[in-house]
Amino acid sequence: MKSVWYDNVEKPKFNSLEGDTETDVLIIGGGLSGILCAYMLHKNDIDYMLIEANEICNGITKNTTAKITAQHGLIYDKIIRKYGVDSAREYYLKNSRAIENYRELCRIFDCNFETKSAYVYSLDDKTEIENEIGAYRAIGADVEFVEDTPLFLKIAGAVKLDNQGQINPLELLYKISEKLNIKEHTKLVNLLPHCAETTKGKIKFRRAVFTTHFPILNKHGMYSLKMYQDRSYVIALENAQDVDGMYIDASQKGLSFRNYGDLLLLGGGSHRTGKKGGGFNELISFAENHYPDAVIKTKYATQDCMTLDGIPYIGYYSKITPDLFVATGFNKWGFTSAMVGAEILCDMIKGPAQENSVFSPSRSIFHPQLAINCFETIFSMLTPTVPRCPHMGCALKYNKQEHTWDCPCHGSRFTEDGKLIDNPATDDKRL
């Protein structure tokens, strides 16, 4: 089923590449991150071209919850403990600027930006909420501790952050993209130094930006070890509740709430892609218990690239690729992080290219999650079953709820008959 964002929006159409060409900056991937990057380059009169293997916004972007907020779970206490107050402040300021960028874009393109408060709540741990509030205050941000919310949940406490936002993502992105230099149905098949071979011709470039959700270039950056993908689910409920804000559980396995028009978007049921989890059944059960009169209008799922430390990778693709850039690993906060990424990469491309240390893809990889990622990859690669993922040969697992084949290593997904749905794989599954 389709997400709610398709209501009352019309997608622009773009031609595919016609023969060989060249550009200063080649953007690979036509989702939220790629379109925002293209828009910023366009605004700065930098020669660029965006190529998309299928159609724009047809991957992860179409199923985002589109919460525009600098409140990314309990991130600030974690950043301070790992990297210090200055890094946490920089993270907050860049994400706060992203909110204002969206607010301005919605004025320019006549889209409805709804100002809302954002809440991260804990069901049973007041201390972690208090620690997060302390972290906000350490970086100079104004937040509030609350114990009561409109949710039908008994909570230990929540962090409330005002002046955040929510929109219909496709409404904005379709309007932004209309005048951009975009080539659809133009798939990258091989990347050579300063030359991209596609299904429609060759593109010479000076610099390239990867905005393909999960980076598809395996030989640099170690992204296959530095990230995994987490799958989560949404049901859109009619006749449910106006929660008057955006809510997320501090636990990664908790629930998410926001309204869109007269619908309540209830999210959760998450699990590592390729593993078992609550899925739609968890959400339906919660809705039946708390909103017995509600009706499910639609349901859909998405997945997110999760980094080792909870911070996106934005900057040089690797230390040895000064002409390749990347924005990935948005940790379920893709809408704000994509704007942060577009602004950072545009600034780097304008030069002189200074990489931001907070988001640098080359920062330390020594975190506990690395061992988990390595174990999952080795275990799956040694599992002697078929079918296999063409990305790195991992054994695929059948997803009974969505009737797909999913990769527990890096999150690639395929239809029942083997057609590619989600990257980092670039080809159909192997039997």
Per-residue pLDDT reduced to its tens digit, 97-109: 999 999 999 999 9
CB 290 within 8 A of CB 276: no
The answer regarding whether domain 368-422 maps to CATH 2.102.10.10 reads: yes
Residue at 237: amino acid letter:
L
Give residues with Cβ within 8 angstroms of 414, minimum separation 6.
Answer: 387, 389, 396, 404, 405, 406, 420, 421, 425, 428, 429
Closest by Cα among 267, 265, 40 to 167: 265
CB 392 within 8 A of CB 381: yes
pLDDT digits (tens, 9 = 90+) for 157-200: 999 999 999 999 999 999 999 999 999 999 999 999 999 999 99
Report the sign of the C-alpha dihedral through residues 149, 153, 154, 156, in that order: negative
Binned at pLDDT 50, 70 and 90, residue 68 comes out as very high
Q: What is the pTM of this model?
A: 0.95
Binned at pLDDT 50, 70 and 90, residue 152 comes out as confident
What was the pLDDT predicted at 431?
A: 58
Taking the CA of residue 389 as centre, how many other CA atoms within 13 Å lie in the half-sphere pointing to its CB? 30
Q: Locate 357 and state its tokens.
A: 């240390």
Report the sign of the C-alpha dihedral through residues 231, 405, 220, 190, in that order: negative
User: In whole angstroms, what separates CA 249 from the centre of its chain?
Assistant: 18
Q: Is residue 82's pLDDT more than 70?
A: yes
CB 376 within 8 A of CB 271: no
Phi, psi of 275 (to 5 degrees): -110, 170
What integer is the mean pLDDT of 209-235?
95
CB 216 within 8 A of CB 423: yes
Largest interatomic CA distance in the chain? 61
Rounded Cα distance between 256 and 261, Å, is 17
CB 95 within 8 A of CB 314: no
Q: Locate 110 and state its tokens.
A: 């006549």
Parse the chain into domains and list their residue ranges: 368-422
Number of Cβ within a 10 Å radius of residue 166 = 24
Degrees (nearest 5) of the Cα angle 415, 278, 329? 65
Rounded Cα distance between 66 and 306, Å, is 17
Rounded Cα distance between 52 and 184, Å, is 5
Q: Locate 350 and state its tokens.
A: 């304008």
pLDDT digits (tens, 9 = 90+) for 344-374: 999 999 987 677 689 999 999 999 999 999 9
Task: Give the single-character DSSP code of 63.
Answer: G
- Range list of β-strands (E), 319-419: 324-328, 397-399, 404-406, 413-415
